[in-house]
Chain A
Amino acid sequence: MSALVTLPVLLPMLGAALTVLFSRSAFVQRLIGIVVLAVVSAVAAVLLVAADQGAPVVAELGGWPAPVGIVLVADRLAALLLLISTLVTLAVLLYAIDQRIADYGRETASTTFHPIFLLLSTGVSLAYLTGDLFTLFVAFEIMLAASYVLITRRTSATRIRSGMTYVIISLTSSLLFLTTIALVYAATGSVNLADLAERVGELPTGLQTVLALMTVVVFGIKAAMVPLHFWLPDSYPNAPAPVTALFAGLLTKVGIYALLRTQTLIFPLDGPSTLLLVIASLTMLIGALGALAQDDLNRLLSFLLVSHIGFMLFGLAVFDAAGIAGTALYVVHHITVQATLFLVSGLITRRTGTVSIDAMGGLAKTSPALAVLFAVPALTLAGIPPTSGFVAKLALLQAGAGAGLETSLVAGVVILASLLTLYAMVRVWVRVFWGAEKPPLTDPDPTDELIVGTARTAKPMYVATGALVAVSLTIAMVAGPLSAVTGRAGQDLFDRAPYQVAVLGEERTP
Chain B
Amino acid sequence: MTASPNTPERVPWKQWDEPSGQWMLPGEHPPTAERTLLLEVVVRILFPTVLVFSLYLLIVGHYGPGGGFSGGLVAGLAFVLRYIAGGGTDLGARVGSRIRLRPPMLVGVGLSIAVLTALAPTAFGAPVLASAKLSVAVPVVGDVDLVTSLFLDVGVYLLIIGVVLDLLRSLGSGIERDAQGAGERS
Residues of A whose CB lies within 8 Å of any CB of B are: 2-3, 6, 10, 13-14, 16-18, 20-21, 23-24, 59-63, 108-109, 111, 154, 446-447
State in angstroms the CA–CA spacing of A14 and B113 once bound together.
Answer: 9
Is the beta-carbon distance between B130 and A18 smaller than 8 angstroms? no
Q: Are A14 and B14 touching (Cβ within 8 A)?
A: no
| Contact for A14 among B1, B7, B105, B115, CB less than 8 A | B115
Which of B109, B112, B128 makes the CB contact (< 8 A) with A6?
B128
Q: Tell whether, in the assembled complex, residue B126 and residue A18 are in contact, meaning their CB atoms are under 8 Å apart.
A: no
Q: Complex Cα distance A6/B13, Å?
A: 34
Q: Which of B7, B8, B127 has the most CB of A within 10 A?
A: B127
Check A108/B127 contact, CB under 8 A, given A21-B112, A446-B1.
no
Across the interface, name the chain B residue whose C-beta is closest to A21. B108
CA gap between A6 and B16 in the complex, in Å: 34
Q: Are A3 and B128 in contact (CB under 8 A)?
A: yes
B107 at the interface (CB under 8 A from A): yes
Q: Is the CB of A17 within 8 A of B115?
A: yes
Q: Select B111's contact among A13, A59, A61, beta carbons within 8 Å.
A: A13
Q: Are A154 and B127 in contact (CB under 8 A)?
A: no
What is the distance, in angstroms, from B100's C-beta to the closest C-beta of chain A?
Answer: 15
Q: Establish whether residues B127 and A62, one from each chain, have CB atoms under 8 Å apart when the complex forms.
A: yes
CA distance A283 to B87 in the complex (A): 53
Determine chain B's interface SS by DSSP, over half rule: helix
The interface size of chain B toward A, counting residues with CB under 8 Å, comes to 29
State the CA gap A17–B13 with chains docked (Å): 18
Q: Which of A13, A23, A63, A446 contacts B126 (CB 8 A)?
A: A63
Q: Are A10 and B127 in contact (CB under 8 A)?
A: no
Question: Using Cβ atoms and an 8 Å threshold, which residues of chain B touch A18?
Answer: 108, 112
What is the 8 Å Cβ interface bit string for chain B, positions 76-104, against chain A (1 contact, 0 not)?
00000000000000000000000000001
Query: Which secondary structure dominates chain A's binding surface?
Result: helix
B3 part of interface (Cβ distance < 8 Å): yes
5 A-B pairs in the complex with CB atoms less than 8 angstroms apart: A20-B108, A60-B127, A61-B128, A62-B131, A447-B4
B127 with A24: CB separation less than 8 A: no
Residue B49 lies at the interface, judged by CB distance under 8 Å to chain A: no
By beta carbon, the residue of chain A nearest B3 is A447
- Which residue of the partner chain, among B4, B16, B127, B128, contacts A111 with CB atoms under 8 Å? B16
Q: Is there an interface contact between B115 and A62, defined as CB atoms closer than 8 Å?
A: no
| Closest chain B CB from A226 CB (angstroms) | 38
One of B65-73, B116-124, B177-185 at the interface: B116-124
Give the distance in Å from the alpha carbon of A447 to the alpha carbon of B109 in the complex.
33
Is B17 part of the binding interface, using a Cβ–Cβ cutoff of 8 Å?
yes
Does B51 interact with chain A (Cβ within 8 Å)?
no
Contact B104 A111 (CB under 8 A): yes
Write out the residue numbers on chain B whose beta carbons fall within 8 Å of the beta carbon of A20: 104-105, 107-108, 111
Q: What 11 additional pairs, Cβ within 8 angstroms, besides A20-B105, A447-B4?
A: A2-B127, A14-B111, A17-B110, A17-B111, A21-B108, A21-B112, A60-B127, A61-B128, A62-B128, A63-B127, A447-B2
Measured CB to CB, the closest approach of chain A to B15, in angstroms, equals: 10
B50 in the interface (beta carbon within 8 A): no
A136 to B133, CA, bound (A): 30
- For A122, the closest partner residue in chain B by CB is B115
Report the Cα distance A24→B129, complex, angstroms: 31
Do residues A23 and B131 form an inter-chain contact, with CB atoms below 8 A? no
Closest A residue to B119 by CB, please name it: A10
Q: Is there contact, CB below 8 Å, between B13 and A109?
A: yes
Is there contact, CB below 8 Å, between A10 and B115? yes
- Taking A17-B112, A18-B112, A108-B13 as contacts, is the C-beta distance between A61 and B104 under 8 angstroms? no
Determine if B127 and A447 form an interchain contact, defined as CB atoms under 8 angstroms apart.
no
**CA of A447 to CA of B3, assembled, Å:** 6
Cβ of B115 and Cβ of A63 under 8 Å apart? no
Q: Name B115's closest neighbour in chain A (CB-CB).
A: A14
Nearest CB of chain A from residue B116's CB, rounded to whole Å: 7
Closest CB of chain B to A444's CB: distance in Å?
Answer: 11
Which residues of B are found within 8 Å of A154, using beta-carbon distances? Answer: 7-8
B13 neighbours in A (Cβ, 8 Å): 24, 108-109, 111
Contacting A at CB under 8 A, from B1-48, are: 1-4, 7-8, 13-14, 16-17
Whether the pair B16, A14 counts as a contact (CB closer than 8 A) is: no
A85 and B105 CA atoms in complex are apart in Å by: 30
Is A447's CB under 8 angstroms from B1's CB?
yes
| Residues of B with C-beta under 8 A to A63 | 126-127, 130
A111: nearest residue on chain B (CB-CB)?
A: B16
Is the CB–CB distance between B109 and A10 below 8 Å? no
Q: How far is the CB of A82 from chain B (nearest CB, A)?
A: 17
Q: Which residues of A contact B1 (CB under 8 A)?
A: 446-447
Chain B nearest Cβ from A47, distance in angstroms = 15
B112 contacts A62, C-beta separation under 8 Å: no
Report B-chain residues with C-beta under 8 Å of the C-beta of A21. 105, 108-109, 112
- Residue of A with least CB distance to B125: A3
Q: Which residues of A contact B126 (CB under 8 A)?
A: 63
- Report the Cα distance A14→B109, complex, angstroms: 10
Shortest beta-carbon distance, A70 to chain B, in Å? 9
* Chain A nearest CB, measured from B101 CB (Å): 14
Give Cα A474 to B137, complex, Å. 62
Q: Which 3 A-B pairs have the closest CB atoms?
A: A20-B108, A17-B111, A21-B108
Most buried by B among A10, A20, A23, A108: A20
How long is the Cα–Cα vector from A411 to B129 in the complex, in angstroms? Answer: 47
State how many angstroms separate the Cβ of B118 from the closest Cβ of chain A. Answer: 6
Q: Indicate if the CB atoms of A24 and B14 lie closer than 8 Å.
A: yes
Nearest CB on A from B66, distance (A): 19
Complex: A3 Cα to B123 Cα, angstroms: 10
Bound CA–CA A24/B14 (angstroms): 6
Cα-based distance from A484 to B6 in the complex (angstroms): 56
Chain B residues lying within 8 Å of A13, measured Cβ to Cβ, are: 111, 115
**Contacts of A111 on B, CB cut-off 8 Å?**
8, 13, 16-17, 104
| CB proximity to A under 8 Å, residues B134-186 | none
- Asked if A17 and B108 sit within 8 Å, CB to CB, the answer is yes
Q: Please name the residue on chain B nearest to A15 by beta carbon.
A: B115
B1 to chain A, nearest CB (A): 6
**Which of chain B's residues have a CB closer than 8 A to the CB of A447?**
1-4
Asked if B116 contacts A14 (CB within 8 A), the reply is yes
A59 and B122 alpha carbons, distance in the complex (Å): 12
Tell me the minimal C-beta distance from A141 to chain B in angstroms.
15
